[in-house]
């Protein structure tokens, strides 16, 4: 109860929690890198990353705040464990990095980052779902059926 009070006061004090709907909505932790990315960038909580949300998300990924993304910052955002020597598969952050760093100079500026949206939006509907991100950055699942 006390926590609720504090949260309410924080919201009133302008912490940017304007239109949070249900308090209990956010109970399931994201468990995949793609899920974590959606969670981070999906500002309105509809489960998809709209193009604007993606673009606004640049600052969230740029944890050093220098206006350039590095692969380390990406690893942090995806909360990946240090590489554990799987020789075949690339990590999701490495795959995402290849998509982002179009000119492969080891740094991603805002315009490069924004261009990646189109590459990630496979069905071209203007928003990224967890599935789309997964297919782009997660290792392809072994076929079994």
Stretch that binds Ca ion, among 10-18, 63-71, 76-84, 97-105 (CB under 5 A): 63-71
Distance of closest approach, residue 41 Cβ to Ca ion, in angstroms: 8
| CB of 77 closer than 8 Å to CB of 40 | yes
The encoded tokens of residue 49 equal 């990353």
Residue entry with tokens 């990946």: 80
Q: Which of 46, 56, 72, 131 binds Ca ion (CB under 5 A)?
A: 46
Binding to Ca ion, residues 105-144 (CB under 5 A): 121, 123, 125
DSSP string, 71-138: HHHHHHHHTPPPP---SSPPPHHHHHHHHH-TT-SS-EEHHHHHHHHHHH-TT-SSEEEHHHHHHHHS
Which position among 8, 26, 64, 115 is part of the footprint of Ca ion (CB under 5 A)? 64
Comparing every residue's Cβ against Ca ion, the nearest one is: 64
| List of residues contacting Ca ion (CB under 5 A) | 42, 44, 46, 48, 50, 53, 62, 64, 66, 68, 121, 123, 125
């Amino acid at each position: 109860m006390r926590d609720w009070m504090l949260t309410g006061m924080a919201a009133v004090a302008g912490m940017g929690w304007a239109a949070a709907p249900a308090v209990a909505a956010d109970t399931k932790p994201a468990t995949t890198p793609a899920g974590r990315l959606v969670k981070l960038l999906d500002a309105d909580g509809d489960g998809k990353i709209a193009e604007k949300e993606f673009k606004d998300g640049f600052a969230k990924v740029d944890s050093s705040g220098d206006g350039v993304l590095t692969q380390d910052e990406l690893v942090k955002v995806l909360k990946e464990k240090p590489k554990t020597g799987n020789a075949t598969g690339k990590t999701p952050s490495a795959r995402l990095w290849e998509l982002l760093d179009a000119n492969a100079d080891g740094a991603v500026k805002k315009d490069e980052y924004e261009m990646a949206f189109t590459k990630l939006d496979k069905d071209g509907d203007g928003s990224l779902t967890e599935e789309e991100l997964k297919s782009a950055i997660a290792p392809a699942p072994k076929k079994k059926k």
